[in-house]
Amino acid sequence: MISKPIERERAIALRREGMSLRDIVKIVPVAKSTLSLWLKQVSLSRPQKQRLTQKRLDAALRGAARRKSDRIALTQKIFEDAAKDVVSISKRELWLMGVMLYWAEGAKQKDHSPSTCLKFSNSDPVMLRLFVRWLEENFGVQSDILRFDVYIHESIKRTREELFEYWAIKIGVPLFSFKSVYLKKGNIKTKRKNIGEAYFGLVRLTVPRSTIFNRKISGWVKGVEKYYWGIV
């Protein structure tokens, strides 16, 4: 190894001032391995060590914040690019969307209870608004005949009026369509995110005298099953 006494003395002096190896190597142009060898015997005071530790922590936090910001920006770009794929929605596409929604979230016809009317439950106001639109498009059901009930945990202190007004505005239906509030008992799960100020419970939409509609949706679902898996 070629001796570099001037660089070595400069590096030692900087280290004694409490500088980190990362900063010293920017000033003294030598290999990091050489620098580590030169500074091996140089001791730092406790305050110097604490400053270096804090500096590393600050750098790590800045790096984490930068990576988080990059992830958020990337995620937002993915959202925006994906949204562009939805140029238009045809009437048939809307029909199939509603069938799939009801298959997932709606009250199904049962052999022991063949007279079940249409009931759809969800906590997403946009999904509820879409389903109301779907009912109008496919069954001619107007929103003013629908019944809405709110289910919310008993520990959430919101008034009946506050809940009804919130959901009526979010879904875009008349306030008088909301009838009852049902309180859920038991301990609320602390890991849930839909609690606190943003939590307004879950809404169950009911279409009165809609047994025939429910049977028809069941038939559409069976049609999907038959198309893909030959299930009758």
Show me where the domains of the chain are located: 5-79, 91-229
Tokens (6 digits) for 44: 């730092």
178-184 and 147-153 as β-strands: parallel, antiparallel, unpaired? Answer: parallel
147-153 and 118-122 as β-strands: parallel, antiparallel, unpaired? Answer: unpaired
Give CA separation, 170 vs 2, 175, 180, in Å: 75, 11, 17
* Mean pLDDT of the chain, nearest integer: 89
Residue 111, classed as helix, strand or coil, is coil
CB neighbours of residue 164 within 10 Å: 19
Q: What is the mean pLDDT of residues 138-146?
A: 93
Q: What is the H or E stretch that residue 163 is in?
A: helix 160-171
Full strand arrangement of the beta sheet holding 147-153? 118-122, 202-207, 147-153, 178-184
213 falls in which pLDDT band (50, 70, 90)? very high
Of residues 2 and 76, more confidence is placed in 76
pLDDT tens figures, 100-121: 999 999 998 766 566 789 999 9
CB neighbours of residue 28 within 10 Å: 21
CA-CA distance, 153 to 202, in Å (whole number)? Answer: 9
pLDDT tens figures, 152-204: 998 888 999 999 999 999 999 999 999 999 998 866 565 555 566 789 999 99
Prediction pTM value:
0.72
CB neighbours of residue 136 within 10 Å: 13
